[in-house]
């Protein structure tokens, strides 16, 4: 019985951390999409977008596969370059690529048994 109480407390803490991580990553992905939309509407510059992404990337790196984060970094670089060339087709393609990677990140954060182990 003495071991059951600490084990239960640890189990509950792990579940709470998993829920918090899921919510945090979901909000970070939505914030990133919002920042990119502001960039597309010319409310922020490419440098500001890259700085905001670097901040989000550092915070998300605890919870998300680093390959996804690196892909988004590359796509954001392409997005800033494509915006200077004024090629709307490239801009839309890069935006869709970023959006699809963010959807994959959200899907990876879905709850399941792998979330707890």
Q: Output the pTM of the full model.
A: 0.79
Distances (CA, A) of 24 to 40, 67, 77, 92: 24, 19, 24, 27
Spatial separation of the C-alpha atoms in residues 33 and 41, rounded to whole Å: 12
Looking at the structure of the chain, the number of domains it has is 1
Q: What is the pLDDT of residues 10-20, one digit of tens each?
A: 999 988 988 88
Interhelix angle 46-60/4-40, rounded to 10 degrees, is 170
CATH number at 33 reads 1.20.120
Residue 87 and residue 91: Cα distance in Å, rounded?
A: 6
| pLDDT 10s digits, 44-100 | 888 898 999 999 899 888 888 899 999 999 999 888 887 776 667 778 888 899 999
Domain that holds residue 15: 4-115
């Amino acid at each position: 019985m003495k071991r059951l109480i600490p084990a239960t407390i640890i189990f509950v803490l792990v579940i709470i951390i998993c829920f918090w991580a899921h919510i945090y990553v979901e909000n970070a992905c939505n914030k990133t999409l919002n920042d990119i939309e502001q960039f597309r509407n010319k409310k922020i510059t490419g440098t500001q977008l890259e700085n905001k992404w670097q901040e989000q990337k550092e915070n998300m790196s605890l919870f998300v596969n680093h390959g996804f984060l690196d892909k988004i970094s590359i796509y954001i670089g392409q997005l800033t370059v494509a915006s200077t060339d004024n090629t709307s087709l490239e801009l839309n393609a890069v935006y869709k690529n970023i959006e699809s990677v963010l959807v994959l990140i959200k899907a990876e954060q879905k709850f399941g048994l792998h979330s707890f182990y």
